[in-house]
Structure 1
Amino acid sequence: MKYSVELLIGFRYLVAKNRDGFVSFISFISVLGIIIGVWALITVLSVMNGFEKELRERILTVASHVTITGNQRMLVNWPDIADQVKDVEGVLGIAPFINSQAMLANGNITAGALIQGITPVLEKTVSNIFDSLIEGNEQSLNRERWQIILGSDLAEKLNLKVTDKVTVITPEANIGIAGMLPRLKQFTVSGIFELGMYEYDNTLAFINIDDAANLLQTQGTVNGLRISLTDVYTAPVINADLGRILGNDFRLSDWTHEHRNFFRALQVEKRVMFLILLLIVAVAAFNVISTLVMVVVDKKSDIAILRTLGLSSQSVISIFVVQGSLIGFIGTVVGGIVGVLTAINIDAIISTIEQIVGIEFFPKSIYVISDFPSDLRWRDVSLILATSFSFSLLATLYPAWRASKTQPAEVLRYA
C-alpha cells in the first residue's frame, strides 16, 4: 500500500499541470529528448551494422575463408593436401590458385594488376565472384584458351570491353639470344565483374589456372589453396585445426586475420558514433534533472503537508524517483519502438523521401551501395534501452534527495 501511494503521487506529479504549465512543457521536452536519442541510436547503429554486413559479404565474395600457401615456395603436392583438408569437419570447398603481379597493356595504356589463375568449376565452391559479372561469362575460361576476366575499374582504366584484346606482361623474364625478355601473352577479355570495392575492381583479373601455369612456367605447382567453410565465423578455429593437421611446412590464414584492421576500424567508428549519439540521451537526462528540480520547488508546500501527515524522507525520495523513472521509461519505450520500426523499414523510408524531394541521396552511378542496408541486432537494442533508462534513473537522484530535505516547518511558516 505504501508503494502504491508513492506511485500514485509520482504519476500525478508527472501528468498534473503546475500553475503556469512550464514544468509540464519541460517534462514533455525531456521525454521527447529521450525518444529522439534512443531512436537515433537504434537507427544509426542498425544502419552501420548493415553496412558492415554488406561489406563483409562483398569481401567474402572474392576472399577465401581460409588460405593455405607454402612457406616461401609453391605447393607441389597440392592434390594430397586437398585430400587431407576436405575431410575436416566444416570444410565446404577447396580450389587451387596461382597468382602473380602483372602489367596489362592496351596500346599505350597500361595498368598494374594482380593476375589470379583459377579453375572455374572449383572456384565456384569457394567464392561467388562469378555472380558479380556485369558483362560476359566465365564459361569461356573453360572452353577457350587465353581468356581473361577483369575488374570493372581496371577495364575502364584500360578502355577495354568484352572481346577486346589485352596484353599481359609478367615480372618474370625469359632468357634468350637477345638477353632477358619479359614474358607476355595476349588475352581476350571474356568478362567484367564489379564487386563495389575499389581494391578488387581496380586491380584484380582472373585467368584459367592452366594458362597461368604456362605463362608463369609453374606447371604442376600452385601458389596455394582457397578453402570455403559451411560457417564463415568458424574460420579461426578451423584455421587452427588445419595448422595442427598439416604441420609447420605451410602458412595458413583466415579472412578474419587478413581483414582484421578493416573490421576493427568499423568497430571503432561504431563505438564512437554510439558515444556521440549517447550525448543526446545525456542531454535529455539533464532535462529530467531540471524538470524534477522545478517540480520540487513548485510542490514544496505539498511535500511539507505530506511530511506533516507522516510521510518519511525515503517516501518523498521514492515519489520523485517514480516521476523521473516514468519520464525515462516512456521516452525509452517509445524511442525503442520508433527506432526498431525505422531500422526495419529504413530503405523504404529513404526511398519515399527521395521520391518526395526528388533527390537521390546515393546515386547508383557514384555509389555501389546505393541503398541503406540495415541489420537490427537485439543485443544493441537492449544495451541502448538499458543505458537510456539508467541515465534517466540516475537523473532522479539529486532532485529526489533535495526534495527529501524539505523542512515542513520552514515551508508552512511562509506559505
Structure 2
Amino acid sequence: MFRPVALFVGLRFVRARKKNQLMSFVSLISMLGVALGVAALIAVLSVINASTATMRDETLKAVPHAAISLNGSFMGVDQAIERLLAQPGVLGAAPFMQAEAWLRFEGRGEFVNVRGVSAQTETQVLHSPSPQLQDLLQELSGQPDGVILGTRLAGQLGIYAGMQLSVTPLASLLQRQTEDARSFRVLGVADFGFYDNDNIALISLPAAEQLFAADPGAVTQIRLKVDDVFEAAAIARQAASSLDNQPHTVSSWSESRRSLFDALRMEKILTGFMLLMIVIIGAVNIVATLVMAVADKNADIAILRTMGAGRFTVMAVFMIQGFAAGILGTVLGAAGGIALAANLQHITRWFEGAINNFVAPGNVYMIAHLDALVLWSDVLLVCLSALLISLLATLYPAWRASRVQPADVLRYE
C-alpha cells in the first residue's frame, strides 16, 4: 500500500523507542497536558451549558417566548390571535396586560409587575406550567378580585392564601391619585422562576383593564408560545407579518433578558479561553519534545536529505511526529471530558459523601450537585482548537529540522 515518505518516516519516529528518557517523559507530559486541557474544557463548558439551560427554563416560567403589541385599533386582539395561531411555529397565543404597581399589605409594600391574564388561555402559552399554577389559574377565572403571587413576594410580605391586599397603579401613585387602588384576595402562590418570584403578581385580564384604565402605557399585548425558543424572535416577526400591515411591536425573551444571557455567554467564552491555556502549555511541551528530537536525529535528517528528500519532506516528517501527540491527547481528552460530564452528578454525590464520612460526620457539608449538558458543537470546537494548537506547535521545530545541512552533519561521520 502506497504511503507518502513523510507519513511513513514520521510514524516510524513516533513508534521508535527513545533512547533519551527525558525526551520520552516530556513527550508523555505534552500528550497528557493536551488531554487534560481538552477534558477540562469539555467538562466545564458542559456545566456552563447546563447552568444556562436551567436559567433559561427558569426565565421562561414568567417571561413570554415572544410578545406582540398592537399599536392602534385597526384590528381586534381576538382577530389577531386567530391569525397568529395559523402561522407556522406558533403553538399558542393569549392576551395579557402588564404594568407596574404598588402592592400594599398591613403597612408593608413592594413595587411589582402586575400582569393581567386570560385564565382560560394562559395555560396554552406557559413554557412549563406546574399543576399548582394551572389550578390557581382555573380558580382565577371565577374570581375577578383574585391575585396569584410569586413565592418570594408572598414570603417577603408574609401573605397567605385568603388574605386581602391592595394594589395601586404606579401611574396613579405618581400623580398622587390613591383612589385608583383596588383590593384583591390572594388565591395562592406560584413559582415564576429564579428572577421573577419576588416581583410578579397575576390578576385576571378584565381586572387589569379596569385597574390600569388611566395608565396610557398599559396596553393589551399578545403572548406567543413557539416550538423553538432559540428562534422565538424570528418566528414572532414572521407570524406578525400576517396582521395586514397592522402597526405592531415584537419582542422576545432573548431581547428582554439580553443582559443576563450576554453575561452568561461572555462567561463561557472567557472560561473557555482561560482553560485553553492548559492546552497551550501542553503544546509548549510538544515544542520542547520536537526540539530535542531534531537534535537527536540530525544524522537521520542528513541521510534523508542525501537520499533526495526535500526540505518540505523533512519538515512534514517532524510535523507528523509532533502532531501525533496532539491527536492522541485530543482523543483521550475528549473521551475523558465526555465521560466526566456524563457522570458529574454521581461524582459530586460521592465527593459529598466522602467529605461527610471522613471529615465531618453528620452531613455537615452540603455540595451542590452539578449538572452537565454536553453540546457536540462545543466538543467539536474544543477538539479542533486543540488540534490546531498542536499543529502550530510543530512548525518551528520542523522548520529547524528542514534547515539542517547534510554536509555539516556527515562531515565527521
User: What's the TM-score bracket when you normalise by the shorter of the two chains?
Assistant: 0.7 to 0.9
Q: Secondary structure at the match of 2:149?
A: strand
1:324 aligns with 2:322: yes
Q: Structure 2: which amino acid aligns with 1:278?
A: L
Q: Which residue in the other structure is 1:295 paired with? A: 293
Q: Which residue in the other structure is 1:386 paired with? A: 384
Q: Secondary structure at the match of 2:147?
A: strand
Q: Secondary structure at the match of 2:181?
A: strand
Q: Which residue in the other structure is 1:28 paired with? A: 28
Which consecutive residues of structure 1, in runs of 5 or more, have no partner in the other structure? 363-370
Q: 1:149 to 1:74 in 2, by over 3 A?
A: farther
Q: Which residue in the other structure is 2:342 paired with? A: 344
1:159 aligns with 2:158: yes
Q: 2:187 aligns with which of 190, 207, 232?
A: 190
Q: 1:249 to 1:114 in 2, by over 3 A?
A: same
Q: Which residue in the other structure is 2:360 paired with? A: none
Equivalent residues of 1:172, 1:182 under 8 A apart: no
Spell out, residue by residue over 1:224-266, the C-alpha distance to the aligned partner (whole angstroms, 9 max, x if none): 1212123334433333334433224332223333333433333
Quote the sequence identity (%).
Answer: 33
1:399 aligns with 2:397: yes
- After the TM superposition, which of the residue ranges 34-43 and 267-276 deviates more from structure 2? 267-276
Spell out, residue by residue over 1:132-160, the C-alpha distance to the aligned partner (whole angstroms, 9 max, x if none): 85998443312334222111221122122
Equivalent residues of 1:75, 1:222 under 8 A apart: no
Equivalent residues of 1:164, 1:189 under 8 A apart: yes
How far apart are the structure 1 equivalents of 2:230 and 2:409? 66
Q: 1:187 to 1:136 in 2, by over 3 A?
A: farther
How far apart are the structure 2 equivalents of 1:157 and 1:197? 15
Spell out, residue by residue over 1:15-34, the C-alpha distance to the aligned partner (whole angstroms, 9 max, x if none): 54544410100000100110
Residue 122 of structure 1, CA deviation: 0.5
Residue 7 of structure 1, CA deviation: 4.3
Q: 2:236 aligns with which of 236, 239, 243?
A: 239
Q: Secondary structure at the match of 2:162?
A: coil
Q: 1:400 to 1:181 in 2, by over 3 A?
A: closer
Q: 1:361 aligns with which of 367, 386, 402?
A: 367
Equivalent residues of 1:132, 1:195 under 8 A apart: no
Spell out, residue by residue over 1:247-305, the C-alpha distance to the aligned partner (whole angstroms, 9 max, x if none): 24332223333333433333232222222222221221111011100111123334345
How far apart are the structure 1 equivalents of 2:409 and 2:231? 68
Residue 222 of structure 1, CA deviation: 5.6
Q: Which residue in the other structure is 1:205 paired with? A: 201
Q: 1:227 aligns with which of 217, 221, 224?
A: 224
Q: Structure 2: which amino acid aligns with 1:320?
A: F
Q: Structure 1: which amino acid aligns with 2:379?
A: V
1:11-160 matches, cutoff 5 A? 11-71=11-71, 77-128=76-127, 130-131=129-130, 137-160=136-159
TM-score w.r.t. length of structure 1: 0.85
- After the TM superposition, which of the residue ranges 101-110 and 29-38 deviates more from structure 2? 101-110
- After the TM superposition, which of the residue ranges 82-91 and 96-105 deviates more from structure 2? 82-91
- After the TM superposition, which of the residue ranges 258-267 and 131-140 deviates more from structure 2? 131-140
Q: 1:250 aligns with which of 245, 248, 251?
A: 248
Q: Which residue in the other structure is 1:368 paired with? A: none
Spell out, residue by residue over 1:184-228, the C-alpha distance to the aligned partner (whole angstroms, 9 max, x if none): 333332222234422x1121111122333344458xx96212121
How far apart are the structure 1 equivalents of 2:73 and 2:212? 12
Residue 89 of structure 1, CA deviation: 2.7
Equivalent residues of 1:135, 1:162 under 8 A apart: no
Q: 1:185 to 1:3 in 2, by over 3 A?
A: same
Q: Structure 2: which amino acid aligns with 1:389?
A: L
How far apart are the structure 2 equivalents of 1:81 and 1:352? 55
Q: 1:313 to 1:253 in 2, by over 3 A?
A: closer
Q: 1:280 to 1:134 in 2, by over 3 A?
A: farther
- After the TM superposition, which of the residue ranges 279-288 and 293-302 deviates more from structure 2? 293-302
Residue 75 of structure 1, CA deviation: 9.5
Residue 407 of structure 1, CA deviation: 3.0
Q: Structure 2: which amino acid aligns with 1:84?
A: R
Q: Structure 2: which amino acid aligns with 1:159?
A: G
How far apart are the structure 2 equivalents of 1:129 and 1:342? 29
How far apart are the structure 2 equivalents of 1:381 and 1:78? 46
Q: Which residue in the other structure is 1:366 paired with? A: none
1:269 aligns with 2:267: yes
Q: Structure 2: which amino acid aligns with 1:49?
A: N
Q: Secondary structure at the match of 1:376?
A: coil
How far apart are the structure 1 equivalents of 2:371 and 2:29? 31
Spell out, residue by residue over 1:153-177, the C-alpha distance to the aligned partner (whole angstroms, 9 max, x if none): 2112212233333222234659xxx
TM-score w.r.t. length of structure 2: 0.85
Which consecutive residues of structure 2, in runs of 5 or more, have no partner in the other structure? 357-364
How far apart are the structure 1 equivalents of 2:188 and 2:400? 74
Q: Structure 1: which amino acid aligns with 2:62?
A: V
Q: Secondary structure at the match of 1:207?
A: strand
Equivalent residues of 1:74, 1:223 under 8 A apart: no
Residue 316 of structure 1, CA deviation: 2.9
